[in-house]
Amino acid sequence: MVAKDTISSIIVFLFSLGAFVLARGYGGGAELFPKGLAIIMMIASAAMFLRAILWPSAIPEGIAKMDRSERSVIALCVVLTVAYVALIVPLGFATASVLFIVVISYALGMRNHLAIWLTAIGFVGLLYFLFVRVFHTPLPADLIVGLLGI
């Protein structure tokens, strides 16, 4: 708890300091609000740091600590999500989404091939239909959907 608060207070302080320095360059009153916020955040983060160092028993209890396996599985999900978002433009929404659902399901240990592929294709197809045909809202152009001429 102490380590968490010490680290986060330093990050918040540095962030606020950076925001304060940048705000000094704005004129016409535009600097007033961000500068005020930065000062409040610096004071709050300094108070948090001092509390962690001098009065650790006053820190309210936080969420339970994750074990190593939980941390690694969440890290895997985050990495796959970032990869998915990065692949939407080159592959298109439908292809990237189907790939993402399939890959993450296998990566998390699911082995029901039929359920995985049916859900991936059916769900993405339904979503594509809803956006493009019902709401008339385009989704990022797709490689496979383009080839199929849908």
Partner 1 sequence: MFHDIFSALIEMMTVGTIVAMICGTCLGICLGALPGIGATLGIALAIPFTYGMGPLPALALLAGIHNGSSQGGAIPAILLNMPGTPGSIVTTWDGYPLAQQGKAGGAINLSAISCAVGGSLSALSLILLAPPLAKVALAFGPPEIFWVNVFGIATVAALLGNDLLKGFIAACFGLFISAIGLDNVSGHERYTFGMLELVNGVATVAVMVGMFSLPPAWNLVRQARMRESATESMGRIRIVSERIWTVAGVWRAWAVASFIGIINGILPGSAIASFIAYNEAKRVSRNPEKFGKGSIEGLAAAECVNAADNASALIPTLTLGVPGSNVAALMLGALLIQGFQPGPQLFRDAPEIVYGYSWALVFTALLLIPLGGALASRVFANVLRIPTTLLLPLIIVIASAGVFASQNSMFDVYVAAFFGLVGLAMIRFDFPIAPVIIGLVLGAKAEFNLRVSLMMSAGDYGILIFRPICIILIILTVLIVAFPLYRTYQDWRTRKANGGEGSIPAEH
Q: How far is the CB of 115 from partner 1 (least distance, A)?
A: 7
Q: Residue 57's Cα: distance from chain center in Å?
A: 31
Residue 60 DSSP label: P
Residue 122 DSSP label: H
Q: How far is the CB of 84 from partner 1 (least distance, A)?
A: 7
Count of residues in contact with partner 1, rule CB under 8 A: 66
Looking at residue 16, its amino acid is S
CB-side neighbour CA atoms (13 Å) of 49: 14
Please select the residue that binds partner 1; options are 2, 123, 129, 150, rule is CB under 8 A: 123
Q: Residue 66's Cα: distance from chain center in Å?
A: 18
Residues 6+ apart with CB under 8 A from 121: 98
Please check whether residue 5 is in contact with residue 59, taking contact to mean a CB–CB distance below 8 angstroms.
yes
Does 101 interact with partner 1 (rule: CB under 8 A)?
A: yes
Q: Which is nearer to partner 1, 119 or 148 (CB)?
A: 119
Please select the residue that binds partner 1; options are 10, 24, 70, 129, rule is CB under 8 A: 70
Local structure of 59: helix, strand or coil: coil
Q: How far is the CB of 56 from partner 1 (least distance, A)?
A: 10
Does 2 interact with partner 1 (rule: CB under 8 A)?
A: no
Here the tokens at position 36 are 């005020």
Contacting positions for partner 1 (CB under 8 A) = 4-5, 7-8, 12, 19, 22-23, 26-30, 32-34, 37, 40-41, 44-45, 47-48, 51, 57-63, 66, 70, 73-74, 77-78, 81-82, 84-85, 88-89, 93, 97, 100-101, 104-105, 108-110, 115-116, 119, 123-124, 127, 130-131, 135-140
